[in-house]
Amino acid sequence: METNNLILPALVLIPFIAGFACWLVDKLDQHLPRYIALIGMLVTLVLTIVLWQTGTYNYELGNAAPTWAAEFKLPWIQTLGINIHLAVDGLSLLMVGLTALLGVLAVGCSWGEIQKNVGFFHLNLLWSLGGVIGVFLAIDLFLFFFFWEMMLVPIYFLIALWGHRGAEGKSRVYAATKFFIYTQVAGLIMLIGILGLVAVGYSMNGEIRFDYNYLMAVANTIDAQAPALAYAFMICMFIGFAVKLPVFPLHGWLPDAHAQAPTAGSVDLAGILIKTAAYGLLRFVIPFFPAASAQFADIAIIFGLIGIFYGAWCAFQQTDMKRLLAYTSISHMGFILLAIYAGNILTFQGLMIMMLAHGISSAALFIMCGQVYERLHTRDLRLMGGIRGQFKYLAFFLMFFVAALVGIPGLGNFIGEFLILMGSYARFPVFTILAAVSLVFAGLYGLILIHKALFGTPNEEQQKHYSNPLKDLNVREMVILLICALSLVWLGLYPQTFLDVSNSSMAWLANSYIPVQETVDTLQQAVVSAENVEIQ
């Protein structure tokens, strides 16, 4: 257990140290930062696997807090009750594993794309990944907020300095600034909720503490005794996470950020960053405010459903390949909200598989956008067409990952969607049927993407800019895509590997949420019965 405890700070520190080393050696050799970054993320991935193999991920019914497989605690700002407190359970372990894997792929896919300021690029990429891992491991809420805000700055630089130029030269800086403002304002609102909890805890117990278990006990007390105040705090935290997810209508930053970000930045945004929001809702909002969350469930799911159809409709309208994929992310995140607020073990487990599968499939598709752009010098689907006959491997992988994204059976996304729909039907049958109908739209925008990119005849004007003949995928690109493809097949054919790890965390969440939902339902039924008696 002692070894496991030390792995936790190492998981956070290795990307930071490796990123700093990349920046220092940049002047010596342009290729050296790439190797240092790759080794740093590979070591992080190996440590995550060690933690997976040696940790115990179980849960005893009736526990007031999650059972941590490993913990690391170090005093920090003792006057304010702030500690460097890291912990891991099944939920956070799988998220850290996804981050480490996609971190390796992000370094790999930027190998040929990034040619200027290579060291500073990898500094920002690895520091953003280190910040995300910190978010998944921190259970002191001050430390969590520190990592939450810290990971935004490197992503701002990734978009602003290495992003693609749009029609006007300032578009990438505009996209980066828009992303930063959205997330900073949302973070400020979330901070109000956290500080409100700390203030109430101080008035109740006379001590300032940011500890997870302590603040959860405070929040549960407020949730039971002052429902209006609990609802206000819950909304503050929900908004903080909803912008990052993103939930309609707080999604405005995502399409621009994706369209202008470099490939590694898009992998970071789609594969990992929006998963931090779903994690935050599961780790903080649901267990802290179960009654307020149950009361808010209908509203949250309606926003999610609007997002599902809005994202799909906007995806239809896009001619830019990356913007189309960005809107599909908005559509898929509606399923995440349905899963969280339906709130039983099936939907939580489906959510876990969907986060992993969506992270890998969307990251793979953004990597393929970069590969297509390197060859055709455009992401405009109107200027493509007919490239299936010119690429033996690229066309196959593109069709495979689009099939994964739209939920073809046998791949991970299907398992996640199936569990979510099956688990949510008993509680929200109408919402679940509407969400199931949206899967048809997912199939349609997937087919449109494949048809416009791969079939038909090449655009004659654009063909002048092609190198002749066009080069197919090289070994490095093939290895990256094969890792993604095999991961999705593993998730689709043998999801039990991952369900076993996350089961304890999800069982605890479902146990703390479902009884409250049943109580809310009972109260609502009692009110209806009383009204009926009065009428009679």
> Can you tell me the distance from the alpha carbon of 205 to that of 217, in angstroms, rounded to the nearest whole number?
11
Q: Supply the range of the domain harboring residue 339.
A: 297-510
Domains: count for the chain = 1
On whether residue 168 sits in a domain, the answer given is no
pLDDT tens for each residue of 321-337: 888 888 888 888 888 89
Segment among 269-278, 401-410, 433-442, 521-530 with least mean pLDDT: 521-530
Say yes or no to pLDDT of 60 above 60.
no
Paired tokens of 77:
């700002």
On whether residue 269 sits in a domain, the answer given is no
Within 13 Å, how many C-alpha atoms sit on residue 416's CB side? 30
pLDDT at residue 62, rounded to an integer = 53
On whether residue 482 sits in a domain, the answer given is yes
On whether residue 237 sits in a domain, the answer given is no
Contacts of 189 (CB under 8 A, 6+ apart): 236, 239, 240
Segment among 140-144, 192-196, 506-510 with least mean pLDDT: 506-510
> Can you tell me the distance from the alpha carbon of 421 to that of 60, in angstroms, rounded to the nearest whole number?
27
pLDDT at residue 333, rounded to an integer = 85
Paired tokens of 152:
């935004």
Percent pLDDT > 90 in the chain is 28
Paired tokens of 365:
């598709």
Q: Band the pLDDT of 129: cuts 50, 70, 90.
A: very high
Task: Give me the count of residues in the chain.
Answer: 536
Residue 334 sits at φ, ψ, to 5 deg, of: -60, -35
On whether residue 522 sits in a domain, the answer given is no
Read off the amino acid at residue 210.
F
Segment among 21-25, 385-389, 520-524 with least mean pLDDT: 520-524
Segment among 9-18, 76-85, 187-196 with least mean pLDDT: 76-85
Say yes or no to pLDDT of 533 above 80.
no
On whether residue 504 sits in a domain, the answer given is yes
On whether residue 465 sits in a domain, the answer given is yes
pLDDT at residue 238, rounded to an integer = 92
Q: What is the DSSP string of 80-98?
A: GTEEEEEEE-HHHHHHHHH
Burial (Cβ within 10 Å: 0-12, 13-18, ≥19) of residue 249: exposed
Say yes or no to pLDDT of 516 above 60.
no
Paired tokens of 211:
């500890």
The single-letter DSSP state of residue 530 is H
Q: Which of 244, 449, 483, 488 is nearest to 358 (CA)?
A: 488
Q: Band the pLDDT of 188: cuts 50, 70, 90.
A: very high
Contact at 8 Å (CB) between 85 and 68?
no
pLDDT at residue 408, rounded to an integer = 86
> Can you tell me the distance from the alpha carbon of 84 to that of 94, in angstroms, rounded to the nearest whole number?
21
Between 385 and 474, where is the model more confident? 474
On whether residue 189 sits in a domain, the answer given is no
